[in-house]
Each structure stands twice: as C-alpha cells, then as structure tokens.
Amino acid sequence: MASDLETADYPDKLRRVVVEPVTRIEGHGKVTLLLDDDNHVKQARLHITEFRGFEKFIQGRPYWELPVVVQHLCGICPVSHHLAASKAIDMLAGVSQVTPTADKIRRLAHYGQVMQSHALHFFYLSSPDLLFGHDDSIKHRNIVGVIEDEPEIAKQGILLRKFGQEVIRLTMGKRIHGACAVPGGMNKSLTIGERDYFLEEMPQVLASAQSAVELIKRLYNQAFDYHQSFAALETNSVSLTRSNGALELYDGGLRARDSVGKTIFDHVDYQTYSDYLQEEVKSWSYMKFPFISSLGKDDGWYRVGPLARINNCDLISTPLAEAQRQEFIKLGEGQPARATLAYHWARLIELLHCVEVLNELLHDNDILGSDLVVKGEMQQEGIGVIEAPRGTLLHHYRINQEGLVEKAKLMVPTTNNNQAMNESIRQVAINYLDGRELTEPLLNQVEVAIRAYDPCLSCATHAMGKMPLEVSLLDSNGKLIDRREK
Amino acid sequence: MSFILDGKNIPFKEGDTIMDAALNADTYIPHLCHDPEFVPHGSCRVCLVSCNGRYVSACTQPAVDGSEVESNTEAVNSIRRELVAMLFAEGVHICPACEKSGSCKLQAVAYYVGLLTPRYEHFNPPGRLDASHPDMIIDFNRCILCELCVRASRDMDGKRVFSISGRGSEASLVINSESGKLGDSLFDVSDRAADICPVGALLPKHKGYEVPIGQRRYDITAIDGAAAREPVKKSGKSDD
C-alpha cells in the first residue's frame, strides 16, 4: 500500500525544501519535500526534470533502424536498449530464433553491459556513501575521495568496468552506441585474438568480482541494523527467470512475487505482458507508475532490478554467485529481502554472476562462428524484454505494411521502480527527517535511498502528452498578474 | 600537358577536367555529386579549387596546361566546410543512427574538410519517407540533391524514375509515377540508380548496419585514399 505522503492536504501552507539535482545518478531529477512549521514532512516526491520523446519521434521510421536509434536514449545502458529492440525487431523480421552464434554474441554484449554498469554504479557512484557514511564531508564523499583513501578499491572498480566496456567494444563496435544487432541476428562474432584477449584478463577480473562481493558484505554487516531498516519496503518484485526459476538476464519468462515471497504470476510469456502489467499517469510526474494489474494501482506497484531479481530467483546457474546468493537470502529470514540498501549487495552478486557467464561464453566456440543471420517474413508487431542492469526493460513496436513504426512503447526499469523510489524517500522522510532541522547530511539520506535503485532518469520519462504546462505572467516588478495551467 | 595540383605535377589529355586528371593521377579532390560514370554536374561545389587564383569547380573546369591549382589548402577547405555544413543544416543527417554511417560520402567529406560539429542552426524539416517500394526506401531529408540517381536512372537504366523539382531552397527529389510514390514507379532494386546514392537517402529495406563498425568503407580507408584508423589489432587491443 502506498504511503500517504504523496500529496499533502494543504500544500500552499507548507514550506518547500528541494534537493536538486539528485547527485551521483544517471540523468536529472529532484526531490521536493513539503514541511509544516514544526518540520513535520507532509509530502515527499521524486521528480524527473528532463524529458525524452523517443516513443513519438520514432513513429514513421523504418523498423530495422530501431536498435541503433533507440539506444541513444541512454549513454549508460545503450546495449540493453539495443538488445531489447533487437529482440523486438527479430519478431518484426519474422525470426523466432537467431543462430547460436548470434545469440551468444548478444549475450556476451549484454553481460558485459550489466557488468560494467554495476561496477560503475557501485564503485563510482555509491561506494562513497557506504565507505565513508552519508554524513561524511560532501567534498570527500565522492569517487575522488575513494581514490585517495581506498586506492585498491578504486582500482578494482576501474578494472571491472573497463573489462565490461571492452566486451561491449568488441561485440558492438564501440564502447557507447555501437551497432551489432541486425534483423534476425548479428553483424559480427569474435575472432580468436579477441577471445584470447578476454581470457587473458579473466582470472584477475574474476578475483576482483569476488572481492567486490566480500567488500559489500563487510560494509553491510558493519552497520547491519541500519542497512536492514533504512528505507526498507514491503513490495512486490518483478523479473525474468529461466524455466527452472534460475536468475536470467537475457531471456526468460516473467515472474512476480509479493512481499512475503508468494507467487503472483510465473513463467509468463512476455508477449502477453499487457495482461499482467499496466501503467498509471500522475499529473505531477513525467514518469509513469506501473503496477500489477491483478493487484490494482494501490497495491500492485513493484520493484525491479538486482534486489528483485535475486529475491525472485530460485537459484543462480553459476557456482560462485549461487554461493553468495545462499548467504544473501538469509537477510530476509525466509522472505524476500526488504532492505533498499540490499540492492547494493544483490547488484554485486549479479556482477560476479556476469563475470562467470562471460567466462562460460568465452569458452564456447559458438562465439567464433560465422552463421550470423536468419531471414523471415515481415510481421506487424514485435515485443522484446530483457533484464537491463536496473531491471526489466520492455520494447513494444507496431509497424505498418511498409515497415514503418506506427506505435512504440518502452517500459524501462527506472519507470518500473518509480513508486518504490517514491516510497523509499517517504520512508526516509518519516524516519530520519520528520521534525528535525534539515541539514545536508540528513538530506543526503534521501539521495542515498534513490541511489540504491541506480535510477536512470534519462530513460524513464515517457508520459507523452501528459506534461503539465504552467504559464505565469509577471509585471516588471516580478509580481504575479495571472497564471494558467494546462 | 600537365598542371600543378598542390605542388604535384598532374598530367592530362585533351578534354580532361581538373577532376578527371586528378582522379587519373590518384589524387583526391573532395566531391559529392561527381561520379566518373556520368556527365559532370557541378552542383555540389564541394570540388571547388583555386585555379590560377580563381575559384572553379574541378569536375567541370577543363584542365589548362601549366596552370597552378590549389585544393587541399586551409583557404579552400574552409569554403568546403561551409558548403558541407549547410548540407548538414538543411537536411536531417544523424550520423550515429544512419545505416550509411561509415560508408557515407557526405560524412567522409565532412571529416576530410574538418567539419566535426554543426555550424548552423538546423532546419529540422518534417520527416518525409517513401517506403512504398517493396525493396527500397527513400529518406528525402537525407537527399543532398546530387542528382546521381536522376542521371543513373535516365542515362543507364533508361527509366527517368527520378527528377529534381523546384528551384533554390524549394528544390527536392521527386518520383516519376502517377502517385508520386516509388512503389508505383518503374524503379527496380537491380537498377543502377539503386546503388548510386552517396548518402543514406536511397537504401535497401529490411536491413542495415550489416558491416560491423571498424570494417565499413571509410573506417578502413579514408575518402582521400589514406589509411584510416585500424579498428582492432590481432590481439584484440585497441590503440586508445
């Protein structure tokens, strides 16, 4: 159930505190708090202050352009958008199954992407809070502080991210905004030289990934009670899983579980996602609010991303990550972990899993193959779903007989986490800010809660045509004469 | 007979243009609307050179014995930069997302003349696509009015499928069919005109990006014939 801090009864009579911009996240957002005279929080909202119009301006474009065009939504996880769109345009091209080489090169790119994104988020963006505390000096609480005080940790982060970026470069052609997927397959595989280059680095990368999980466990357990309770939420979780319930990032069925781990739906073919998931538009946000249809708007909101995925899966297929998952699930004492800061722990288990999967793929000779593309007959509708670093990502396109896009819908992870992020900042507002004089370290806790989700705000704003428009007419002294809202 | 091009002696025979002679001598002069297969057109003006102090288009100017021609100089390239910048501004050329990227002459010439960022406010014309043909698509906003497709269809295919209508800023590519659609014209994917577009205006349908980044035409060899960057070494490591 959503908290009652979404909308205050008499907002005009309240004092407004704005945290802008929210730092160390992707994209631009702000948090507004409304407080009464005694500093009691009456309203807390996360706003996204930028807008993307991709769903609109790709209308009329040819379908085979989509993976390359749509990935420009984001500079952090373009591979995820590229591959989600690729799965959708495979369908549009009438291809239900790509070749083993194409499938495994796509997986290489994807696991490299998730790995580098997780390393970026943990080491560059969030580790300062966890290493130094949310109340550390703002001048020191950043990646430069990490490099100065914990150079070995910083080097690990750089090494892990670099490896993932290199995987992307040699599969996609470029580290950012490359092009590898084509309708029905891929445009390249790996050479033996490229594969050996990665295998040479693998032992060190695997060791660093293991160290990263040990690091987050140590940090989490140092202030266990705080980390367990901070912005903790009872929520539903949505993710892809394999048919045996294992963690799956590239392709699988949709699974939803509630806050105590009871299954809401399972092994759902994502082609039928609209029977299970819906979105609500609220007047105060460019970001939509998705929910599980069977539970309704108030109770159906959910979390996606590393925490939801590790909570949702029954096992992990790679041994090192599975051993870490076994330890992680103790956090929930028989139920899914609720701690928002457990996202960091889950994220680094996934990072380790990504490295293990990359290692498996690099030992598979299919990645050196030359059978890259399958042809089919053009279809009118295509849906692609993938687990992006931040959670479940959906691309849905409809095209006309000439192959031009008529309708596009993108449900991105940060949108899926919208209500949960809002609820988390409200938890922080109630537990840590309410009735207190607000200081920078206190307000940073709001950001710490948001940061745990690793939101990518630039991808997430899709409430096209619902944008509130406000025009104020001021006289030469700045006095308000008239105001109109649309 | 010969002339001097950027300090190099270029021989030519009677009737050659400066461009003919330069191409025969494996010396690059930037151009977009010129193709040795067709009668010179002289419309893009990118092949502008200074011949004995006068600016002329190399593709239409007859070579003159003993003349001094400047092409790859900052003075000449700065004018070319302006011309190419205007082409980018009036069309919609989003190289990072275009199927032709890496194999596009407009993009390659832009790199050659040092145009790396927009210089003028974009016109942002409304999107105009013709996807009515089963095999080919036209993105009119990428057309640079070079008329290569017009000439190929008329002179080699004998069909006159394409023409330019209007003048000045109103000029645009039009299709010779009752509906004005490519799908209703005599155009065929095997036509010479189907494979002549120097930019991403006239492209095959249902595919794109088939050549990996690093292996595209101008990834390997720059448009002036110089070796471009080597994409990936045998070890897999890049230079950067």
In tens, the pLDDT along B189-234 reads 999 999 999 999 999 999 999 999 999 999 999 999 877 654 444 4
Integer Cα distance of B25 and B43 in angstroms: 23
Give contacts of A193 with chain B, Cβ < 8 Å.
233-236
- pLDDT recorded at residue B172: 94
What is the residue type of B176?
A: N
B106 pLDDT more than 60? yes
Integer Cα distance of B10 and A485 in angstroms: 70
Domain assignment of residue A44, yes or no: no
Integer Cα distance of A345 and A343 in angstroms: 5
Q: Which CATH class is domain B78-220?
A: alpha beta
Domain assignment of residue A45, yes or no: no
Give contacts of A178 with chain B, Cβ < 8 Å.
213
All structural domains of chain B with their residue ranges: 2-72, 78-220
Whether A151 and chain B come into contact, CB under 8 Å, resolves to: no
Query: 3-class SS at B56?
Result: strand
Mean pLDDT of all residues belonging to chain B: 93
- pLDDT recorded at residue A372: 97
Taking an 8 Å cut-off on Cβ atoms, the answer to whether A93 and B97 are in contact is no
Provide the number of structural domains found in chain A. Answer: 1
- pLDDT recorded at residue A468: 43
Interaxial angle between packed helices B105-113 and B74-90, expressed in degrees from 0 to 180 and rounded to the nearest 10 = 140
Integer Cα distance of A61 and A292 in angstroms: 31
- pLDDT recorded at residue B234: 44
Nearest to A198 by CA among A357, A398, A9: A357
CATH of the domain spanning B2-72, picked from 3.50.50.60, 3.10.20.740, 1.10.238.10, 3.40.50.2300: 3.10.20.740
Taking an 8 Å cut-off on Cβ atoms, the answer to whether B96 and A61 are in contact is no
Q: Which residue has the higher pLDDT, B10 or A10?
A: B10
Which of B205, B210, B237 is most worth mutating to test chain A (most A CB atoms within 10 A of its CB)? B210
* 10-residue mean pLDDT series, chain A (486 residues): 74 81 70 85 79 83 95 87 97 97 98 96 92 88 92 96 97 93 96 97 98 97 95 96 97 97 97 96 84 96 97 98 97 94 97 98 98 96 97 97 95 91 90 84 85 76 44 57 51
Taking an 8 Å cut-off on Cβ atoms, the answer to whether B208 and A187 are in contact is no
Give, for A265, the enclosing helix (H) or strand (E): strand A263-268
To the nearest whole Å, the CA of B181 is away from the closest chain A CA by: 12
Residues of B with CB under 8 A from a CB of A: 96-97, 99, 127, 129, 131-132, 137, 205-215, 232-238
Integer Cα distance of B126 and A249 in angstroms: 39
Residues 38-77, chain A: which have Cβ within 8 Å of B?
60-62, 64-65, 68-69, 72
Closest chain B residue to A372, measured at CA: B210
Nearest to A448 by CA among A431, A468, A472: A431
- What CATH number should be reported for the domain holding residue A284? 1.10.645.10
Whether A409 and chain B come into contact, CB under 8 Å, resolves to: no
Of B127, B132, B236, the CB nearest to A194: B236
Interface ipTM: 0.91
B171 pLDDT more than 70? yes
Domain assignment of residue A365, yes or no: yes
Q: What is the dihedral of CA A425, A427, A433, A439, to 10 degrees?
A: -30
**A405, two tokens:** 């896009």
Closest chain A residue to B219, measured at CA: A173
- pLDDT recorded at residue A474: 56
Q: Where are the alpha helices (DSSP H) in A93-150?
A: 100-119, 127-132, 143-149
Domain assignment of residue A275, yes or no: yes
Whether A162 and chain B come into contact, CB under 8 Å, resolves to: no
Q: Which residue has the higher pLDDT, A55 or B113?
A: B113
- Please compute the mean of the pLDDT values over residues B9-32 and round it to a whole number: 96
Taking an 8 Å cut-off on Cβ atoms, the answer to whether A194 and B132 are in contact is no
- pLDDT recorded at residue A463: 45
Nearest to A67 by CA among A182, A168, A174: A182
Integer Cα distance of A443 and B106 in angstroms: 51
Integer Cα distance of A263 and A261 in angstroms: 6
pTM for the structure as a whole: 0.91
Integer Cα distance of B19 and B34 in angstroms: 9
Integer Cα distance of B206 and A378 in angstroms: 8
Give contacts of B99 with chain A, Cβ < 8 Å.
64-65
Domain assignment of residue A333, yes or no: yes
- pLDDT recorded at residue A486: 37
Taking an 8 Å cut-off on Cβ atoms, the answer to whether B213 and A172 are in contact is yes
**B168, two tokens:** 């000045």
Q: State the pLDDT confidence band at B119, using cuts at 50, 70 and 90.
A: confident
**Cα B95 off chain centre by:** 14
Domain hosting A73: range is: 52-426
The annotation status of A6 as a binding-site residue, yes or no, is no
Query: Are A410 and A394 within 8 A, CB to CB?
Result: yes
Query: 3-class SS at A356?
Result: helix
B44 pLDDT more than 70? yes
Give, for A263, the enclosing helix (H) or strand (E): strand A263-268
Closest chain B residue to A181, measured at CA: B209
The annotation status of A395 as a binding-site residue, yes or no, is no
The annotation status of A313 as a binding-site residue, yes or no, is no
